[in-house]
């Protein structure tokens, strides 16, 4: 393997790791937001964050997290607003991660 190939492989691995971390951070931010809407106590909110993060491992993509939040929030938030919040939370998560490095 050439130095160039190793460099591309390292960048790919780093990008994949950063995307994973951003998605997990997004899930945490979304769970905290949803917990507040649901009126959860601090202790219950911490447990809820773990539930939402676990829900992301059900299938590839974001639909598992969307379903979890949509089911839990019911009619408190529309589909459009929830999906928009997911996009905003991912952007916020990426910004937080970049500021930490």
Paired tokens of 77: 């938030």
Paired tokens of 4: 């160039």
CA distance 99 to 95: 6
Q: Is the pTM of this model over 0.75?
A: yes
Confirm if 77 and 85 have CB atoms less than 8 A apart: yes
Give the pLDDT score at 101: 74
Produce one character per residue of 4-25: b if its CB has 16 or more CB atoms within 10 Å, e if not.
eeeeeeeeeeeeeeeeeebbeb
Largest CA distance in the chain: 55
Each residue's pLDDT expressed in tens, for the chain with a length of 101 residues: 899 889 989 999 999 999 999 999 999 999 999 999 999 999 999 999 999 999 999 898 999 999 999 999 999 999 999 999 999 999 999 999 999 97
Domain extents in the chain: 3-100
């Amino acid at each position: 393997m050439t130095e160039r190939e190793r460099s591309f492989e390292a960048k790919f691995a780093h990008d994949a790791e950063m995307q994973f971390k951003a998605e997990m951070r997004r899930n945490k931010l979304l769970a905290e937001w949803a917990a507040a809407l649901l009126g959860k106590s601090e202790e219950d909110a911490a447990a809820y964050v773990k539930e939402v993060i676990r829900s992301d491992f059900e299938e590839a993509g974001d639909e598992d997290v969307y379903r979890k939040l949509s089911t839990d929030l019911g009619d408190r938030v529309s589909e459009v607003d929830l999906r928009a919040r997911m996009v905003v939370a991912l952007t916020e998560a990426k910004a937080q991660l970049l500021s930490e490095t």
